[in-house]
Chains A and B, each alone.
Chain A
Amino acid sequence: MAAGNGVLLSVRELRKAFGGLVAVRDVSFDVPEGRIFGLIGPNGSGKTTVLNLITAELSPDSGSVLFDGNEMVGRQSFEVCRARIARTFQLVRVLPYMTTRENVMLGRMFGSSPTAPAQAARDADALLERVGMAGRADLVAAQLTYIDQKRIELARALATHPKLLLLDEWLAGLNPSELRIGIDLIRQICRGGVTIVMIEHVMEAIRALCDRVVVMNAGEKIAEGAPGAVLSDPEVMHAYLGADDAAA
C-alpha cells in the first residue's frame, strides 16, 4: 500500500531507545522513488540510528519500515540487502585484509543479484572505475585512506544492485573541488534509477541534490520540506546551522 504514489520507502513512527535515552522518537517520513532525500541534523540527533533501523542493524522498539510495500522490521540485515537496500557507513567498514576489488566483489556475489566470481570481478572493476578507484583494485583496503575506503564502500553498495541507497556522510572529508565531483557522482547514480537517502553535513550538497529533507534534533523530526525552505526555518538554523549560515 505504501508503495502507491511513487513512495519507495515509508518510515512509520519509528522509535528506538538506548537505556533511558530515546535516540529516535516516533519518526515518520516517505521517500519518493527516483529522488534524493536528505537527512540532516546535529551530531547525535539520531540520523545514523534511523539508517541502522532501516537496514535492520538495530531493531526498533516500535514502528515500521515499509520498502516497496514490504515490511523490513523483523528481517535480518542480509535480507534487507537482498530486498535491494544498500548502504555505506560513516565509520567505514571495509574488509581490511581483502583487496579493493575483493571488497566490491562480495557485494556482487552475495547481494540481490548474485553472480559467479569471474563476472563479479569484472563488474567490480567497472564500479571501481566509476567511483574513481580504477588504479587501486589490487591494493589491500586497510592501506587506503579513509576517503578511498569510503569509495570502496560505495562501489560495494552499488554492486549489490540496490533500488535504495543509504549514504551516511559519504561526502565528508572532501575538499570543495572533490565535493563537486562527488555531488555529480551521486546525481548520476540517482539518474541511473537508484533512490537515495543521504545523511550529510555539507549543506552545499544537500542544496544541490535533495528534493526533500528531514531535519532531526534530539531524536525527533523537527522539520521536513524542500532544502531551501527547511534551511531557512528558524528552529533549524538555531539547532543546526548556527547563527549566520542562513544566507550561505
Chain B
Amino acid sequence: MLRLEHISVWYGKHEALHDVSLEAAPGRTTVILGANGAGKTTLLKTIGGLIRARPGGRILFEGKSLEEVPSHRVVAHGIALVPEGRRLFGEMTVIDNLRLGAYTEHARADEEKQLERMLTLFPRLAERRNQMAKTMSGGEQQMLAIARALMSEPKFLLLDEPSLGLSPRLVKDLFSVIRKITQGGQAVVLVEQNVHQSLRLADHVYVLENGRIVRSGSPVEIEEDKVIQQAYLGIESEREMSKQYEAPVTGGGFYNPTARNLNPPAPKSAAQPVKANGAGNPGGFYNPFARSVSSEKGDAAPQAGKPAPRRVERPKSSGGFVNPLARPGSDR
C-alpha cells in the first residue's frame, strides 16, 4: 500500500499541493485527474522523491516513511516514475537505456531476464535495440521510457501523461500495455488527460483541483458526477448543454487561470447554490476532502429557476439525459 497523508508542497510562495491524502492499492490502477496546473505532476514527483513536501506530511510505503528518502532510494524501495517528457538518455541506445533502468541492487540480479521480458512486451524496442533513443519516434520513446522504469521491477509504476503527443493508434497500444502491466500484478498510478480511456483502466480515481483532492471514487462514480463531466469530460455541452447555453464550457480553467476549475459556468437564472457537502455528493460517496467545490451550482444549471436538486435526483431531472453508466443502486 502506498499512502500519502497531509502532503503539502510549496514552490516559493505558491502552494502547489495542499493537504493531500490518498491511497494507492497494490496491484491496482489509481488514476489522478485534474486540469492543467492542478498539481498532478507535482504529486507524482513528490512520491518519487524529486520534490520535498513540507514537514508534517507523510508518504508511507509498505509501512516505511519515504518523505525523506532520496529519489534513487525510492526506486530501490519499488516505486518507479515515468516522467512527463520521457527524459530518456537520447545519445544512448535503446538497450543501454533499458540496462540503466536496472541499476538498483535488487534489479541487477534479474537484469537479463527483465531485458528479455521488456523486449517481448515491447517488440518494437527489440527491433530498434541498437538505435539511439533520440532518433526514435515519440511513441517509441514513450514505450522505452515505460520499459526503462519497469526494468527496476517496481511494485508501483507512476506514469505522468504517457499518451501525450501519441497518435490515436499508439495511444491504444499504450493503454493495452498498461493493462498488461497491472494484470502482471504491478500497481499503476496514472496521470492522464486522456480521461475516458484512463477511466476504463482505473480501479480508483482521485480528482485534483488547485492542489487539493476534491473528489475520490470509483471510475463509475466519477463518470456519473455531473460536475466532473462538465469540468473534465467535456460531456455536458455535447449532449445537453448545447441546448441550454450558447457558450462553451469554461470549467477547465482555460481562460481564467484563477477561476476554480470545478466551478462550471453558472447560468444567469441558476438557482441558489446548495451548500451541503454530504447531501449533494455524487454517486453516494462522501469525500471528507471535498471543500465547497461549488459543485451544486453546476448541478442546478439545467434546472434554471427551480431549487437546486439533490445530486442523487439528477438522472431523472437532467433534461432527458441518461447516463448509461448510472447504477440505480449506487445512491445512498
Interface residue ranges, A against B (CB under 8 Å)? 41-44, 90, 132-136, 143, 145-148, 169, 172-182, 184-185, 201, 203, 239-242, 245
Contact = CB atoms under 8 A, between A and B. Distances in A.
Given A132-B257, A148-B36, A175 B164 contact: no
A165 B94 CA distance: 36
B87 interface: no
B193 A242 contact: no
Which 6 pairs show the lowest CB-CB distances between chains A and B? A44-B137, A176-B234, A242-B169, A178-B252, A43-B137, A147-B36
Nearest to A237: B169
Given A184-B248, A201-B168, A245-B168, A134 B85 contact: no
Contacts of A175: 33, 35-36, 193, 195, 232-234, 252
Given A42-B169, A180-B248, A174 B233 contact: no
A241 B36 contact: no
A146 B231 CA distance: 20
A134 B256 contact: yes
Nearest to A181: B254
A11 to B, nearest CB: 22
A44 B167 CA distance: 10
Nearest to B137: A44
A172 B237 contact: no
Nearest to B257: A135
A180 B257 contact: no
Interface in B21-72: 33, 35-37, 41
Contacts of A176: 195-196, 232-235
B203 interface: no
Interface residues of B, number: 45
B219 interface: no
Contact of B258 (A135, A169, A174, A239): A135
Contacts of B282: none
A218 to B, nearest CB: 11
15 contacts: A42-B139, A43-B167, A44-B137, A132-B253, A132-B256, A134-B256, A135-B257, A143-B11, A147-B36, A175-B36, A176-B234, A177-B233, A180-B234, A180-B237, A201-B165
A133 B196 CA distance: 27
Contacts of A173: 36, 161, 164-165, 193
A179 B251 CA distance: 11
A136 B168 CA distance: 33
Contacts, number: 118
A23 to B, nearest CB: 11
Interface of B: 11, 33, 35-37, 41, 84-85, 136-140, 161, 164-173, 193, 195-196, 230-235, 237, 248-258
A239 B167 CA distance: 10
Given A145-B36, A181-B250, A241 B169 contact: yes
Nearest to A239: B169
A41 B252 CA distance: 28
A185 B230 CA distance: 18
B295 to A, nearest CB: 14
A90 B229 CA distance: 28
B165 A177 contact: no
B257 A178 contact: no
Nearest to A48: B138
Contact of A174 (B36, B165, B170, B235): B36
Contacts of A43: 137-140, 165-167, 170
Contacts of A239: 169
A44 B138 contact: yes
A62 B25 CA distance: 57
A143 B33 CA distance: 21
A82 B165 CA distance: 29
Contact of A42 (B137, B164, B230): B137
Contacts of B237: 180
Given A145-B36, A173-B193, A178-B254, A42 B232 contact: no
A74 B121 CA distance: 46
A241 B168 CA distance: 5
Contact of A203 (B11, B168, B232): B168
Nearest to A90: B165
